[in-house]
A and B are shown apart, each in its own frame.
Chain A
Amino acid sequence: MPATSGAVFTALADPTRRALFERLSREGELTVRLLTDNSGVSQPAVSKHLGVLKHAGLVRARHRGRQTHYSAQPRALAPLVDWMSYYSRFWHDRFDRLEDLLKGMDQ
């Protein structure tokens, strides 16, 4: 497992955080208030989720006046693509081992 992927996986394992990240990816820079409106989630909860996304490098915060504007950082998704190549190597290797095992097994 690529060492850098843990925080990204943890951040995106939560459906609320995924939704926040998807929305920022789609709509560009948004404030916490805009992200909270009509979301069914409280503003402190949204802020907390944004903190986790920020820690994982998935969003960037920009302070302007009293407002904080958040934007998505899609480059941080690279570990998810690495995940596919990781498991591709992993399963090809395990298939080889499985074939070796089958050769050695009785019918």
Chain B
Amino acid sequence: MTTTARSLVIEKELPHPPEKVWRALTEGSLIEHWLMDNDFQPVVGHKFSFRSTPVPNWNGVIEGEVLVIEPNSRLSYSWATMGMKSVVAWTLTPTKDGTRLRMEHSGFRSEEDAAYKGASYGWQKFIGNLERVVGGLE
């Protein structure tokens, strides 16, 4: 565990051209098939919701805003639920056989607007240490 952002990365080689993968990532009716019911539009600044089945203590709604659209190449949106903001970023790289698809879900953004002067320690660094802290408790 490093002291940089805590994030989840998944990378896969897909035997499909980037244009096709892009459609699956950005067309609402296709997103619905593999991710969630949505009102997504591939327009920077567009605000949307992903909706899944509510469970106890979670209404199943994820609020997002499109941050980056570079057709067939890069897509990024915010991902907010339960008062927690995160960012999902997709990168498509053409390969000989199709596409290398990379997804990075950054769990926490550093807050620039910390109202409290004691916040110099840095939230990202703090989160980076969480796993070690919790892991060391047992």
**What residues make up the interface of A, taking CB atoms closer than 8 Å to B?**
1, 3, 5-6, 9-10, 12-13, 15-16, 18-20, 22-23, 25-26, 38-41, 74-75, 77-78, 80-81, 83-84, 87-88, 91-92, 94-95, 97-102, 105, 107
- CB-CB under 8 A from B111, the residues of chain A are 15, 18
Pick from A6, A20, A87, A97: contact of B8, CB below 8 A: A87
Q: Is there a chain A Cβ closer than 8 Å to B46's Cβ?
A: no
Main secondary structure of the interface of B (DSSP, over half): mixed
Q: Is there a chain A Cβ closer than 8 Å to B47's Cβ?
A: no
Q: Is there a chain A Cβ closer than 8 Å to B105's Cβ?
A: yes
**What residues make up the interface of B, taking CB atoms closer than 8 Å to A?**
6, 8, 10, 12, 14, 16-17, 20-21, 23-24, 30, 33-35, 55-58, 81-85, 103, 105, 107, 111, 113-119, 121, 123, 126-127, 130-131, 133-135, 137
B117 touches A40 (CB 8 A): yes
B118 touches A39 (CB 8 A): yes
A98 touches B34 (CB 8 A): yes
Pick from A13, A81, A101: contact of B130, CB below 8 A: A81
- CB-CB under 8 A from B23, the residues of chain A are 105
A6 to B55, CA, bound (A): 12
Q: How far is the CB of B5 from chain A (nearest CB, A)?
A: 12
A23 to B114, CA, bound (A): 13
Pick from A9, A15, A41, A84: contact of B82, CB below 8 A: A9
B119 touches A9 (CB 8 A): no
- CB-CB under 8 A from A102, the residues of chain B are 14, 16, 20-21, 24
Pick the 7 closest A-B CB pairs, nearest first: A19-B116, A13-B83, A19-B119, A97-B34, A15-B114, A98-B34, A1-B58
